[in-house]
DNA sequence: CGATTTTGACCCGCGC
DNA sequence: GCGCGGGTCAAAATCG
């Protein structure tokens, strides 16, 4: 990692509150106004006040942006470290896929009740092929290649089963399963009639603020609108959830979780002085952030969407 | 009024 | 063969 010397986590959001003040020095403006006489001075003073107000507003906005960015980065890194830690602890643990899900759900309840266990499933996908090939080689391969999972943390108060992933979904069923008291919702892709993709969404047993979305199949059409499309008609929008870039990679299903609703840390950072928070981040954390930002376009897209969404929400 | 959601009924595969 | 449970269907309800 030799990039530490030139890490730039800026998202080009024009965050630079101090320079704005520097570019409009009050003294200079004031002295110019005095030379223009009293009548003009009063008018100018009004516009200066307006400017100052706007500057304050922009500064506050920038503060918010910095806050949100640091919160998002912290969440991302804590999650990432959780995942890494779990993968280290359970390098061989694997879960079955949908074709044998009934087996797995009855015999591997321990795995299913553990969110991180499910996470592991996505990452150790390829390692389970040998075992499976003994039973139903072709079918298994076919199905496994089309399954992916995404985990979305939502607001605790959000009781909907909506996962925004950029596609349009039509709900066609809901069922309460034995393992989980929370109902499981079944969605079909409604953007294209011929699209075979299905999605199952259920809350995690362990953490009910986490939605587990299981995708089956591959879309045969482009994404409708990543930032606008929601599950279904948009009638009920999950405020806390954020597209998680759960791409339907044909060979390696991705499992991505973004926790952008960590209200605690969000509040904490608001209580503290936000600008002083960012420099407090350890250097390796910053490196990780920068690496993630530069290498993962999906993360950047999600980040930008989250920030812009929060801004809109705040305004 | 059309599109979407809800929800009970039904189908089907699996284990015993 | 039977029962259980996940997945799907489809009519009714709801929403914009």
Gap between the Cα atoms of A61 and A274, Å rounded: 12
Higher pLDDT pick, A174 / A158: A174
Residue–nucleotide distance: A101 CA to B12 C1' (Å):
15
Alpha helices in A90-178 (DSSP H): 101-107, 109-112, 115-123, 129-133, 137-144
Query: What pLDDT does A158 receive?
Result: 59
Protein A103 CA to nucleic acid B15 C1', in Å?
9
Q: Report, as an integer, the average pLDDT of A152-177.
A: 74
Q: Is the pLDDT score of A183 beyond 80? A: yes
Contact (CB, 8 A) for A93 and A111? yes
Residue A178 CA distance to nucleotide C12 C1' (Å)? 27
pLDDT at A261 (0 to 100): 43
- Distance (Å) from CA A104 to C1' B10? 25
List, for residues A28-65, the tens digit of each pLDDT value: 333 333 333 344 444 445 578 888 888 888 788 778 77
- Nucleotides of chain C in contact with protein CB (under 7 A) are 4-10, 15-16
User: Hey, how many other C-beta atoms are within 10 angstroms of the C-beta on A314?
Assistant: 10
Check whether residue A136 has its CB closer than 7 Å to nucleic acid strand B. no
Residues with CB under 7 A from strand C: A 98, 101-102, 105, 172-173, 175, 177-179, 184, 186, 198, 200, 235
Question: If we measure between CA atoms, which residue out of A269, A271, A265, A218 comes closest to residue A246?
Answer: A218
Place of tokens 């299913």: A112
Q: Which domains does chain A carry?
A: 147-216 (2.20.25.80)
* Rounded Cα gap, residues A145 and A124, in angstroms: 13
Distance A177 CA to C6 C1' (A): 8
Residue-wise pLDDT tens digits, A243-260: 444 443 433 344 444 444
- Residue with CA nearest C16 C1'? A235
Q: Is any atom of nucleic acid chain B found less than 7 Å from the CB of residue A169?
A: yes
The pLDDT value given to residue A274: 36
Which nucleotide in the DNA or RNA is closest to residue A200, CA to C1'? C7
Residue at minimum CA to C1' distance from nucleotide B13:
A102
> What mean pLDDT comes out for the span A127-140?
37
Find and list the nucleotides of strand B having atoms within 7 Å of a protein beta carbon: 3-9, 13-15
Residue nearest to nucleotide C8 (CA to C1'): A173
Q: Tell me: the pLDDT tens digits for A70-107?
A: 776 677 666 766 666 665 665 433 333 333 333 333 33
Q: Which of A150, A152, A268, A267 is CA-nearest to residue A209?
A: A152
Q: Report the sign of the C-alpha dihedral through residues A67, A68, A72, A73, in that order.
A: negative
CA A232 to C1' B2 (Å) is: 15
Specify the DSSP class assigned to residue A241. Answer: -
CA distances from A13 to A34, A113, A169 (A): 36, 41, 32
CA of A51, C1' of C9: distance in angstroms: 62
Residues 6+ apart with CB under 8 A from A290: A3, A7, A8, A9
Whether the beta carbon of A102 falls within 7 A of nucleic chain B: the reply is: yes
User: Average pLDDT for residues A273-299, to the nearest whole number?
Assistant: 47
**Cα–Cα distance for residue pair A234/A171, rounded to 1 Å:** 12
The C1' atom of B6 and the CA atom of A189 lie apart, in whole Å, by: 18
CA of A122 to C1' of C11 (A): 38
Better-scored residue on pLDDT, A306 or A13: A306
């Amino acid at each position: 990692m030799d990039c530490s010397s030139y890490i730039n986590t800026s998202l080009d959001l024009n965050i630079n509150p101090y320079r704005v003040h520097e570019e409009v020095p009050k003294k200079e403006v004031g002295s110019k106004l005095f030379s223009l006489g009293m009548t003009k001075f009063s008018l100018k003073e009004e516009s200066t006040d307006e400017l100052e107000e706007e500057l304050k507003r922009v500064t506050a906005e920038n503060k918010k942006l910095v806050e949100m960015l640091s919160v998002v980065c912290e969440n991302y890194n804590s999650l990432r470290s959780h995942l890494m830690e779990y993968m280290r602890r359970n390098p061989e643990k694997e879960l079955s896929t949908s074709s044998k899900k009934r087996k797995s759900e009855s015999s591997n309840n321990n795995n299913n009740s553990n969110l991180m266990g499910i996470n592991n499933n996505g990452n150790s996908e390829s390692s389970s092929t040998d075992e499976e090939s003994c039973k139903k080689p072709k079918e298994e391969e076919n199905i496994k290649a089309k399954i992916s999972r995404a985990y979305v943390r939502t607001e605790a108060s959000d009781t909907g089963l909506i996962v925004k992933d950029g596609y349009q979904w039509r709900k066609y069923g809901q069922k309460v399963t034995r393992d989980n008291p929370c109902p499981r919702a079944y969605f079909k892709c409604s953007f294209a009639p011929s699209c075979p993709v299905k999605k199952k969404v259920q809350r995690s047993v362990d953490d009910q603020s986490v939605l587990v979305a299981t995708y089956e199949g591959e879309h045969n059409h482009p994404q409708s609108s990543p930032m606008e499309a929601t599950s279904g008609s948009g009638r009920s929008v999950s405020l806390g959830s954020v597209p998680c870039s759960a791409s339907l990679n044909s060979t390696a299903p991705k499992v991505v979780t973004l926790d952008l609703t960590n209200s605690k840390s969000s509040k904490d950072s608001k209580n503290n002085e936000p600008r002083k928070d960012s420099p407090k981040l350890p250097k390796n954390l910053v490196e990780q952030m920068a690496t993630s930002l530069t290498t993962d376009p999906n993360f950047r897209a999600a980040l930008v969407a989250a920030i812009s969404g929060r801004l809109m929400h705040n305004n």
